[in-house]
Every structure is written in structure tokens, then in C-alpha cells.
């Protein structure tokens, strides 16, 4: 069997909605259309670990980037980012193409263009990256890896294309 040597990189909850904070899961398991596209096109899937799961566990309340922006959480994100960057560097050295990195818009960790913050106890969606995306971009840049980032908004319904 010939390998495609093409990868998409997905933040954890795109393949496992069970990792999301209480009340935030939109689907019962994976986001099917992402998996189906990868299967149809012969892409490999690399799953980035969830820093929120590592930090507060599976039974956690939703928090904002403001809440998570503490040294211990940043350390977890940096460790994950270095691990992922090391793996992707190995794939790149072996001639693999990293097609895209897909994050979840609004996430305090994995937002690509938008994240949630808290100002004076009011939560709001703002332009900006989640903490893990910030750390991952830095780690990949340090290794000379250029990657395209895409943020998606997860809906309860399958997207039509």
C-alpha cells in the first residue's frame, strides 16, 4: 500500500467531542464530515491532545482564555505544542505534507481566529487565538514548519459541504 504522505492536524475535540467541557459538545463523538473528508482524500489524521482535559479533567465547567491564562496551563500547552511540533517535524523530514491544522473557533485553547475572554465578569467572543494555538504556532515556527491554520465553528448539524 502506498502512503498518501498527506496529513491534517486536528485539535482533540474534533475527533472526540467527549473531551469538551460540560454542555459544549455538539455531537456524540467525532465531527463526521472532517473524518469523512480525510478518508475520501486519503489523508492521515494527527490528533493534538487536549490541554483542558489534562488540566481540569473530563468533568469540567466551561472557562474562558482569561481563566486559563495561568502559568500551569501555559506550561501544559507549551509541552503539548513541543510534542506536536516534534512529531510534525519528523513527518516533514520524511517528506509528508502537512495540509492544514484545524482548530475550534471560540475555544480558549484551540481558537484560530476567535476565542472567549472575560472582562469584569462578562464573557465575550473576541478576535484572537487560543492559548494552545499561540504555543503551537511558536513551536512550529521555531522548527521552521509553515502550516495553514483553519478555524471551524462546530454546529449540531453536519455541514453540507
**Residues paired with residue 48 on neighbouring β-strands, in sequence order:** 11
**What pLDDT does residue 126 have?**
97
C-alpha cell read off for 22: 460540560
Average pLDDT over residues 137-155: 94
Express each pLDDT in 9-20 by its tens digit: 999 999 999 999
**Rounded Cα gap, residues 105 and 8, in angstroms:** 17
The confidence band for 154, taking pLDDT boundaries of 50, 70 and 90, is: confident
Percentage with pLDDT > 90 across the chain: 89
Q: Is residue 158 part of a domain?
A: no
Q: Is residue 31 part of a domain?
A: yes
Q: Is residue 45 part of a domain?
A: yes
Q: Is residue 118 part of a domain?
A: yes
The confidence band for 160, taking pLDDT boundaries of 50, 70 and 90, is: low
Range of the structural domain that residue 85 is part of: 6-152
Q: Are 20 and 113 in contact (CB under 8 A)?
A: no
**What pLDDT does residue 1 have?**
75
Q: How many domains does the chain have?
A: 1
Q: Is residue 1 part of a domain?
A: no
Q: Is residue 160 part of a domain?
A: no
Q: Is residue 78 part of a domain?
A: yes
Total residues belonging to the chain: 161
142: left (phi over 0), alpha (psi -120 to 50) or beta: alpha
Q: Which of 105, 138, 142, 102 is nearest to 9 (CA)?
A: 102
Q: How many CB atoms lie within 10 A of CB 142?
A: 12
Q: Is residue 161 part of a domain?
A: no
**Rounded Cα gap, residues 117 and 21, in angstroms:** 16
Amino acid at each position: 500500500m502506498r502512503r498518501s504522505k498527506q496529513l491534517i492536524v486536528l485539535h482533540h475535540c474534533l475527533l472526540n467531542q467527549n473531551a469538551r467541557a460540560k454542555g459544549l459538545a455538539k455531537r456524540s463523538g467525532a465531527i463526521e464530515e472532517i473524518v469523512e473528508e480525510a478518508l475520501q482524500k486519503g489523508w492521515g489524521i494527527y490528533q493534538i491532545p487536549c490541554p483542558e482535559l489534562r488540566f481540569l479533567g473530563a468533568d469540567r465547567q466551561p472557562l474562558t482564555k482569561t481563566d486559563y491564562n495561568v502559568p500551569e496551563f501555559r506550561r501544559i500547552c507549551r509541552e503539548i505544542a513541543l510534542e506536536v511540533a516534534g512529531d510534525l517535524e519528523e513527518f516533514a523530514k520524511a517528506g509528508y505534507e502537512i495540509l492544514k491544522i484545524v482548530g475550534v473557533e471560540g475555544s480558549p485553547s484551540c481558537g484560530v481566529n476567535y476565542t472567549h475572554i472575560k472582562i469584569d465578569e462578562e464573557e465575550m467572543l473576541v478576535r484572537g487565538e487560543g492559548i494552545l494555538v499561540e504555543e503551537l504556532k511558536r513551536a512550529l515556527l521555531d522548527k521552521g514548519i509553515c502550516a495553514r491554520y483553519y478555524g471551524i465553528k462546530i454546529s449540531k448539524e453536519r455541514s453540507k459541504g
